[in-house]
Amino acid sequence: MAIQTIATQPIAGQKPGTSGLRKKTAVFSQPHYLENFVQSVFDVVGNEGDPTAQTLVLGGDGRYHNRAAIQTILKMAAAHGYASVLVGRGGILSTPAASCVIRKRGAAGGLILSASHNPGGADGDFGIKYNIAAGGPAPESVTDAVYHRTESITQYRISDAPDIDVDTIGVTQIEGMRVEVIDPVADYAELMARLFDFDAIRKLFAGGFTMRFDGMHAVSGPYAHAILEGMLGAPRGTVINGVPLEDFGGGHPDPNPVNAAELIGLMAQPDAPDFGAASDGDGDRNMIVGRKFDVTPSDSLAVLAANATVAPGYRAGLKGIARSMPTSRAADKVAEALGIACHETPTGWKYFGTLLDAGMATLCGEESYGTGSDHVREKDGVWAVLFWLNLLAASGKSVEEIVTAHWVRFGRHYYSRHDYEGIDAAAANLLMDDLRIKLPALPGASLNGHTVEFADDFSYTDPVDGSTAHKQGVRIIMTDGSRIVFRLSGTGTEGATLRVYFELYEPDAAQQRRPVQQALASLIAAADSVASITTQTGRASPSVIT
């Protein structure tokens, strides 16, 4: 075997978005596409320090093209001179498990192959992202440098070694680089057992508590099987759709009430299990469902924060909370009661990293079904489910009882997100530009009965490293505490997706059980009046409401 230097040319558009580089699988599998990006990553990050002393973690969500990409990257890492690569068996590592392994094994970083919740398959999406030694997604300074490198790349290096067996636990060598195939679950499961009261959860299941975990045929299945049914004694069948498939069974592995309709339907039956949960393509998202009762991710973050000390890993209390700007302000109420800070960051988990590293936040969350903590540097689906199980075990209450008691104490933040998917990109940008022009005139204006107190395009200055992010979403905040947020998705691969987020605060317990869309109706109409959504997008209604 020998290291080959292959001539290449820059390929346009290799700019990482909200979470790594995501494209159609057909784009990713064209000659040199993956290689150009990986070489650019190595050129940017692999030159810091001595690669021959460095370990790289490698794994993905198992989607179509994962196996081929794993082989390419192993051969490129060997050509780059990495000392070793830790690869999940079968090329599998959930995103949070990859973060856990990077941290635990002291790796220099990791490459995660995933397009998260986007559909997979030959016609679906593929993606890649680099995570740094702290375990989290590379900051923008790194992803920008990688992007610039892709614009001038002329060659990449790759070993011509035959394919490496990644299906058997053990160690092999390629070009003097050590390749260790690891159990994708073991390190992660060991961390979970330290954070949560597994004895209490075991007793809960032994006492007849019932649950369904929907793996959505994606990567969290093996983790849920091993931890819930294996370590915690939940009956077999608790985990459904638990075998990762290359096309996720043709489904859309995004755990929200629309895509996880099977679970939602199950939880609405008269004989529904006590608890339902689902996770996404790469295992970092979570959806929590009670019997006939959906929990919004914003509420889930707030509930976990208010009750965090039930879990052994959080017994000392929280240092702070962080939430993305569009996430509801339910967590802010809890932070206020606990006397800790609640940080508001732009959308994307990468913005939590510095706060977690600096000990300024313990729990973080996003409205997009993402919850996590300082245990890793990614959001974490199975972790959130275990946290809820710990809480259910400790309280002896149902999901609905826990959440409604939370509302009575802190007030309810009615919340919904409306997505307009696959709209014309130029029209979407125009809508946002028009909104920005209107911003200065909005304070004091009445929008469908709500008086605007404040409106801006969200800018963020990281309190730890001083880095800034601009144009992160238009916020319109009303004098009654309600809010409308507009932003364009940064994870799509076709056209544009407009996201409109609605939030209305209801402190009166007698008014907290209204249908959500009805409670938000005046804000929804206000959004259309200020942004002319229907006219500008040509869509009479959103494609997805969560």
Residues 6 or more apart whose Cβ sits within 8 Å of residue 148: none
- CB of residue 419 to ligand G1P, shortest distance in Å: 9
Q: Do residues 253 and 259 lie in contact, with contact meaning Cβ atoms separated by under 8 Å?
A: yes
Q: Do residues 469 and 140 lie in contact, with contact meaning Cβ atoms separated by under 8 Å?
A: yes
Q: Give the residue, chosen from 19, 36, 238, 259, that forms a contact with ligand G1P under the rule CB under 6 A.
A: 19
Other Cβ atoms closer than 10 A to 265:
10
Encoding tokens for residue 536?
């500008």
- CB of residue 203 to ligand G1P, shortest distance in Å: 34
> Angle, nearest 10°, between helix axes 140-150 and 33-45?
130
Per CB under 6 A, 18 contacts ligand G1P: yes
Binding to ligand G1P by CB under 6 A, coded x per residue (else -) over 447-486, reads ----------------------------------------
- SS3 percent helix, strand, coil of the chain, rounded to 5, is 35, 25, 35
| Separation between Cα atoms, residue 517 and residue 501, nearest integer Å | 12
Per CB under 5 A, 116 contacts Zn ion: yes
Q: Which stretch binds ligand G1P (CB under 6 A): 233-241, 343-351, 403-411, 434-442?
A: 343-351
Q: Give the residue, chosen from 116, 131, 404, 536, that forms a contact with ligand G1P under the rule CB under 6 A.
A: 116
Q: Which is nearer to Zn ion, 219 or 484 (CB)?
A: 219
Please report the beta strands in 52-174, taking only residues with DSSP state E, as ranges in sequence order: 55-60, 84-92, 109-113, 125-132, 155-159, 170-174
Q: Are strands 84-92 and 177-182 parallel, antiparallel or unpaired?
A: parallel
Q: Which is nearer to ligand G1P, 103 or 379 (CB)?
A: 379
282 binds, among ligand G1P, Zn ion, none (CB under 5 to 8 A by kind): Zn ion
Instruction: Give the helix/strand (H/E) hosting 517.
Output: helix 516-519
491 binds, among ligand G1P, Zn ion, none (CB under 5 to 8 A by kind): ligand G1P
- CB of residue 20 to ligand G1P, shortest distance in Å: 9
Q: Do residues 375 and 313 lie in contact, with contact meaning Cβ atoms separated by under 8 Å?
A: yes
Encoding tokens for residue 407?
């509302």
205 binds, among Zn ion, ligand G1P, none (CB under 5 to 8 A by kind): none
- CB of residue 346 to Zn ion, shortest distance in Å: 17
Per CB under 5 A, 378 contacts Zn ion: no
Other Cβ atoms closer than 10 A to 334:
25
Q: Which is nearer to ligand G1P, 82 or 126 (CB)?
A: 126
Q: Which is nearer to ligand G1P, 175 or 366 (CB)?
A: 366
116 is catalytic: yes
Please report the beta strands in 265-308, taking only residues with DSSP state E, as ranges in sequence order: 275-279, 286-290, 293-295
Q: Which stretch binds ligand G1P (CB under 6 A): 75-83, 186-194, 224-232, 342-350?
A: 342-350
| Separation between Cα atoms, residue 476 and residue 415, nearest integer Å | 15
Q: Which of 116, 159, 300, 482 is catalytic?
A: 116
- CB of residue 454 to ligand G1P, shortest distance in Å: 22
Per CB under 6 A, 499 contacts ligand G1P: yes
Q: Are strands 412-423 and 496-506 parallel, antiparallel or unpaired?
A: antiparallel
Q: Which stretch binds ligand G1P (CB under 6 A): 104-112, 344-352, 396-404, 506-514?
A: 344-352
Q: Do residues 354 and 376 lie in contact, with contact meaning Cβ atoms separated by under 8 Å?
A: no
Per CB under 6 A, 349 contacts ligand G1P: yes
19 binds, among Zn ion, ligand G1P, none (CB under 5 to 8 A by kind): ligand G1P
DSSP 8-class letter at 327: S
Per CB under 6 A, 137 contacts ligand G1P: no
| Separation between Cα atoms, residue 471 and residue 483, nearest integer Å | 17
Q: Give the residue, chosen from 490, 516, 525, 528, that forms a contact with ligand G1P under the rule CB under 6 A.
A: 490
490 binds, among ligand G1P, Zn ion, none (CB under 5 to 8 A by kind): ligand G1P
Q: Give the residue, chosen from 279, 307, 489, 546, that forms a contact with ligand G1P under the rule CB under 6 A.
A: 489
Please report the beta strands in 209-311, taking only residues with DSSP state E, as ranges in sequence order: 211-214, 239-240, 275-279, 286-290, 293-295
> Angle, nearest 10°, between helix axes 381-395 and 297-306?
50
Per CB under 6 A, 546 contacts ligand G1P: no
Q: How many helices (H) and strands (E) does the chain have?
A: 18, 27
- CB of residue 221 to Zn ion, shortest distance in Å: 14
350 binds, among ligand G1P, Zn ion, none (CB under 5 to 8 A by kind): none
Q: Which is nearer to Zn ion, 94 or 536 (CB)?
A: 94
Q: Which is nearer to Zn ion, 280 or 419 (CB)?
A: 280
Q: Using CB under 5 A as the criterion, which residues of the chain lie in contact with Zn ion when the complex forms?
A: 116, 280, 282, 284-285
| Active site amino acids | 116
Q: Using CB under 6 A as the criterion, which residues of the chain lie in contact with ligand G1P when the complex forms?
A: 18-19, 116, 324, 347-349, 366, 368, 370, 489-491, 499
